[in-house]
Amino acid sequence: MNISIRRSTISDLDLLLKLEKSAFPIYQQSSKRVLSLSLRSNFQQVWIAEAEGQEDHHGVGGLVLYIYKRTVRIFSIVVDPEYQSKGVGKKLLEHAEILAKQRGAERLSLEASVDNKKLIAWYNKFGFESTELMQDYYEEGRDGLRMVKELLIPELKNRLSNIIVVDDPEEWELNIENVEVVSSKDYTSNKGLFSERSLRVFNLCNSYRYQSMGYYVSLLASAREHRAIPNVTTIRDFKDVSVIRSIADDIDEVIQSSLQKCTDNRFSLNVYFGKSTEQEYKVLTQKLYQMFEAPLFQVQFVKGSRWDIKKITPLSLSKVDISDREIVQESARQYFEAKRFKKTKLKNYTYHLAILVDSKEENPPSNKRALKKFKDAANELNIYTEYITKEDYNRLSEFDALFIRETTNVNNYTYQFSRKAYAEGLAVLDDPWSILRCSNKIYLHERLKVNNIPAPDTTVFYKGMVKSKDLKLLTYPMILKQPDSAFSLGVTKVKSPSEMEESLNRLFKHSDLVIGQEFLPSDYDWRIGVLDNNVLFACKYFMAKGHWQIYNWKGPKKDQSGNAETLSIEDVPLKIRKTALKAASLMGDGLYGVDLKILDDKVYVIEVNDNPNIDAGIEDKILGKDLYKKIISSFITRIEMSRNIERFVSIEPN
């Protein structure tokens, strides 16, 4: 009997329902809704097996696949009972394997009932091995067995993990393992089935201007989940001098020291795969490449009172001086032969998470033990984790998600990391809009006021509009806050009009607006951790010894912060929880720490903070490792939602 296999359509819904009812026990049958979602999903594929030679091409089997980045999961193989033992199931299984290999998948996975020994033996015959017993998988008392078949990755896929895309491949004379030079026309038209593979794309087209071929190479690479260098965000940033200078602030000292001997007021430096033709600028070249990831680019500097970057221009091979062509070729060869992209991992991970940290930060939002617990939780959930620093700005495209565990600020690289990660489609906490909103008390004050959320009585002081006589009418003591203050820094308690005037003059040097709030004395503040609009943890932060704040940076080291008490969420008054959730929702759906006070049975929101503290031994005291797993699970959800993966399958099987 000849069997043909075709892609299904929505009109096959009734056929699939009929096949499942005839072949599966009720506890294994998919509902009409689930099958309907499968037929419409971009993440799933459904195939129909038909017996040829019959007038109506009678459907005799079905195959439902879930397509992950590295795994193809066989959700179900169903065969009409009348056609079982006639090779239909084998045909469908072979079809699934062919599709998986074409996509460059590393494994096939499926689930089978532990009680179905015959089916398990059949899968064993085709190379599937049991990897996990799943208790009560189908229903209570009916266990499942996860089975996996590791696929032999085609050599072609390994060889094409890195590609260089140029307008004319004949210009390049490279013969490097794991690298192939392809034309921009072939890549954009998908002539080599590039979209089905896992690739890192080095874009060296002649132009990156908007809607040029080079622009579309990087744009399509992003759509295909390839790692484009440069990516569309970098191409756009090259045109924005303010962004360039903001990013370059972190290497200003290197720029000044490297160019101090230049006698001219203008200087250009070409960067070829992270290298320069001039050895004396080696350090500067490496720093520039770390900041601005592109294979070939030119940096133009100008000198006024100091050296500044005037312009950065991406280069194609056609724009490189003929005398430098051989140097470019050799730089490319050394770059790829360094095997920088062949990280050894003991297992195949579902997603890759970067955690941004600063080992020199005195008061980071997570201590070292907490960072280790994040990594352990991620590993349990099959997520590869790597700690990165500000030097790794150009590596963001290697990851699926970014978790910022440094103190965030709109005016430093943490915001640049967040902005770039979000623009590249990474799941990111803290997201850029949360940093912008939470970092400014003026914004928070206005949001709380507009939404009728109780907060301490607040006055906004405007630079140049404060009169001494008006200060005498205020009630003291009062709390003054620099709008972007954090960790109690930039927060002052004033007790008189003269102290108020002195403090305002100092704060106005940094901001045209300053927040003043009534002083609400209390022994502790509530801190409610919120993630995805749900309460994550609850703490009481007690005031530092002999001080009115949680932190007393001027006090002795041992007394700089107060004690903390972590509570079960159920033990927190309902009105505290409700107010915290409402306030956090005004900022977004990320990870927040809401600070509140309760006085005379009334709840006041003090602040909503992005990047809240999560320290081992404090915030995790109740949930333990589950706290870390909840946060990592949120990243998984965010990644999968961004890729339109149906939520009833949330984590790729091992």
Distance CA 504, CA 516 (A): 10
Pick from 396, 440, 446: nearest CA to 417: 396
198-251 pLDDT, tens per residue?
A: 788 888 888 888 778 888 888 888 777 787 888 777 777 777 777 677 667 778
The pLDDT value given to residue 551: 54
- Tokens describing residue 244: 């360039």
Q: Where are the domains of the chain?
A: 3-150, 157-325, 457-518
pLDDT cut 90: percent of the chain above it = 34
Class of domain 457-518: alpha beta
pLDDT attached to residue 646: 37
Q: Determine which helix (DSSP H) or strand (DSSP E) holds 357, and give its type and residue range.
A: none
Alpha-carbon distance of 549 to 487, in angstroms, equals 10
pLDDT class of 294 with cuts at 50, 70, 90: confident
Determine which of 304-318, 345-359, 630-644 has the lowest per-residue pLDDT on average.
345-359
For the chain, how big is the Rg over CA atoms in Å?
Answer: 30
- Lay out the sheet containing 489-494: strands in order across: 458-462, 513-518, 478-486, 489-494
Q: What pLDDT score was predicted for residue 546? A: 58
- Evaluate if residue 399 carries a pLDDT over 50: yes
pLDDT tens readout for residues 578-615: 999 999 999 999 999 999 999 988 999 999 999 999 99
CA 131, CA 113: separation in Å to the nearest integer?
A: 13
Q: Residue 634 corresponds to which tokens in the numbers above?
A: 């949120």
For the chain, report the end-to-end CA distance as a whole number of angstroms: 36
Mean pLDDT score, 44-61: 80
pLDDT the model gives residue 647: 35
Quick check: 486 and 607 in contact, CB under 8 A? no
Kindly give the residue spans of alpha helices, DSSP state H, lying in 56-210. Answer: 88-102, 117-125, 155-159, 184-189
Share of the chain above pLDDT 70, in %: 88
Q: What is the pLDDT of residue 378?
A: 94
Choice between 210 and 379, residue whose per-residue pLDDT is larger: 379
Q: What is the pLDDT of residue 561?
A: 63
Q: How confident is the model at residue 618 (pLDDT cuts 50, 70, 90)?
A: very high
Q: Which residues contact 245 (CB under 8 A, 6 or more apart)?
A: 308, 309
Chain Cα centroid distance, residue 190: 27
Helices 625-642 and 368-380: crossing angle in degrees, nearest 10, is 60
Most confident of 120-134, 327-341, 500-514: 120-134
Whether the Cβ atoms of residue 413 and residue 243 lie closer than 8 Å to each other: no
Contact yes or no for 66/73 (Cβ under 8 A) = yes
In what side-by-side order are the strands of the sheet with 129-139? 3-7, 44-51, 59-67, 71-79, 107-113, 142-150, 129-139
The mean pLDDT value of the chain amounts to 84
CATH no. of 3-150: 3.40.630.30
Nearest to 61 by CA among 41, 42, 40, 76: 76
Checking if the pLDDT of 554 tops 80, the result is no
**Most distant CA atoms of the chain, gap in Å:** 99
Which pLDDT band, with edges at 50, 70 and 90, does 255 fall under? very high
**Region 309-330: what's the mean pLDDT?**
82
For the cut 70, the answer to whether the pLDDT of residue 558 exceeds it is no
The number of residues making up the chain comes to: 654
